[in-house]
Amino acid sequence: MLCLVLTNDQNLEIASTAGIKACGHEAIAVSSIMAATALAEELNPRALFVDVELPAARDFIKWAQSETGCRVVAVQQTESQEHTFFGAAANICGPITADKIGAALVQAGCADDAQTSIIDGDLEAKFWDITGSLAPGFSQSDEPGEPKEPLTERQTRNSDAVSVVSQEVIAVWGAKGGEGRTTLALCLAERLHEFDVLLIDLNFTEGPGDIATILDLPVLPHIGRLVDNVTDRRQGFIDSLIKPRRADFAVVQPPPTIDQAESISIDDVVDLIDQARRMFQIVIIDLPNDLSPITLEALDLSTAVLFVSSESIGGLARVEARKSFVRSDTTKALTINRLKNGVRRAREYAHWLEMPLAGTVTECDKGPSEGGKDDFIKYWCEMTYPAVSDILKLLFGLDLVSHQPRRTIVKRIRGAIAGMTG
């Protein structure tokens, strides 16, 4: 029997998945409601374990109970409540054990007592990584003798019967203007087109921003629709989204005037990123080169920060100073733009800054042709291809250069499960 576990708490994830395995069943752990929704529809698991501490857990449980064939087990790690949560078929309170999981499956009508007998008394999880199986169109590098890049904690805590669909919020930041942050953010979103990607532009200016100009976006909609809808933030977020005609990702624009931008609060940014994480697999934030409260809040909510800088000593020194504004548990990486002195020198810059080098973009005198905005995007995607490949390898453990057939994320998960059970 296949079970889905929805939580972003590491301890709860390990206990739940190990307990499910001990009962003789398979488990897939996911850290976002969006991923859980997709997998519940595609894989049709028999049981769905939901952490009730997650935002919007109530709405998700109601949806799962009414719209899917899953039986929902509500889980919380304290003993404060003993009733079934939000209409779930069963619930677990307190320390998660295999016995409690077995009893919950019986209560939910997913199994009988014989099916939930403990087959493995050792609940200590043994972890491995199948991240390469989860990424559509990509595969991890398997070159002999080449160590794989370290992955984030959330990507590596997989047990031998568990796969994790991770989620990233990537902030693209720098210490001065004109360093190529927006171009890199655009090209990164373009290269990740097989995922559900959202590009958020938080550069508040008078008139259209660079992203709006390059993608030829209309003035409306923009983030102001989220700000104005104080009663239904989800709907306000949806109303703020725009899909460019020439791109496979969604965009949230800043307002077109500084006066309108002044009405945006830190709470609005928190709600924006919170809603984005529920609906998109990857969120990319193009940040201004400032230290405003909104910028700092976006940094705090990011799982990774890409610093973009030229080889300018002054620019690199400012990057060094700005590292202190990023949380210590957030992945930090450096991308060097307009590189003249070779990759070896770029590695020296990264070593000095105590960051991994997430790609380089070489300086080129030849600019895009006069063919219009489509040629501009194509040109810069080609120019940034090596850097984007390195970024994806560093942050996701993905190899952009792959000759394998492209498959959806769900098909890759199915393949991984078949490999584990076959």
286-302 tens-digit pLDDT: 999 999 999 999 999 99
Q: Per the domain annotation, does 7 fall within a domain?
A: yes
Looking at the structure, tell me whether residues 29 and 121 fall in a common domain. Answer: yes
- Alpha-carbon distance of 289 to 175, in angstroms, equals 5
- Of 302 and 369, more confident: 302
Let me know if residue 184 belongs to a domain: yes
Is 107 among the domain residues? Answer: yes
Together in a domain, 37 and 105: yes
**What local confidence, expressed as pLDDT, does residue 422 receive?**
43
151 and 255 together in one domain: no
**For residues 174-196, average pLDDT:** 85
The larger pLDDT score, comparing residue 359 to residue 398, is at 359
Closest CA to 257 of 295, 207, 210, 209: 207
Residues 83 and 21 in one domain: yes
Q: How is residue 32 written in tokens? A: 């976002």
Task: Clarify whether residues 176 and 133 are in a common domain.
Answer: no
Residue 236 confidence (pLDDT) above 50: yes
Q: Over 70: is that where the pLDDT of 261 sits?
A: yes
Query: Using CA atoms, how far apart are residues 22 and 122, in angstroms rounded to an integer?
Result: 8
> What CATH number does residue 301 fall under?
3.40.50.300
Better-scored residue on pLDDT, 414 or 74: 74
Of 83 and 222, the structure prediction assigns the larger pLDDT to: 222
Residue 176 has pLDDT above 90, yes or no: no
Question: Which range among 97-106, 242-251, 346-355 has the greatest average pLDDT?
Answer: 346-355
- Are residues 24 and 142 located together in one domain of the fold? yes
| Whole-number pLDDT of residue 421 | 42
Query: Six-digit token pair at 358?
Result: 């997430």
139 vs 59, more confident: 59
Tokens of 71: 């039986």
Q: In total, how many domains does the chain have?
A: 2
**Both 246 and 180 in a single domain?**
yes
Same domain as 186, residue 56: no
Mean pLDDT of 71-76: 88
Segment 83-125, tens digit of pLDDT: 456 778 888 887 888 888 888 888 888 765 544 444 333 323 3
Whether 138 and 392 have beta carbons less than 8 Å apart is answered as yes
Same-domain pairing of 123 and 161:
yes
* Interval 12-61: pLDDT, tens: 888 888 888 888 888 888 887 877 887 787 778 888 999 888 877 888 88
As a whole number, mean pLDDT of residues 226-255 equals 89
Q: What angle do CA 382, 386, 390 make, to 5 degrees?
A: 140
The radius of gyration computed from the CA coordinates of the chain, to the nearest angstrom, equals 23
Tell me if the pTM is above 0.75.
Answer: no
Q: Does residue 256 carry a pLDDT above 80?
A: yes
Q: Which CATH number do you get for residue 145?
A: 3.40.50.2300
What is the spatial distance between Cα 325 and Cα 297, in angstroms, rounded to a whole number? 10
Q: Are residues 31 and 76 in the same domain?
A: yes
In this structure, are 121 and 256 located in the same domain?
Answer: no
What are 313's two structure tokens? 């000593």
Task: Decide if 194 is inside a domain.
Answer: yes
Decide if pLDDT at 156 tops 60.
no
Give the pLDDT score at 17: 85
Q: Helix, strand, or coil here: 160?
A: coil
Is 241 contained in some domain?
yes
Q: What is the pLDDT of residues 158-167, one digit of tens each?
A: 333 333 334 6
Q: Which two tokens stand for residue 79?
A: 């003993």
**Is residue 328 assigned to a domain?**
yes
Query: Residues 246, 215: one domain?
Result: yes
- Asked if residue 401 belongs to a domain, the reply is no
Does some domain include residue 402? no
- Mean pLDDT, all residues of the chain: 76
Which amino acid, residue 408?
T
Flag whether pLDDT at 322 surpasses 90: yes
Q: What is the pLDDT of residue 167?
A: 67
Residues present in the chain in total: 422
Q: Find the range with the poorest average confidence among 241-245, 248-252, 392-396.
A: 392-396
Domain of residue 114 covers 2-165+409-421
In three-state form (DSSP H/G/I as H, E/B as E, the rest C), the secondary structure along 59-72 is HHHHHHHHHCCCEE
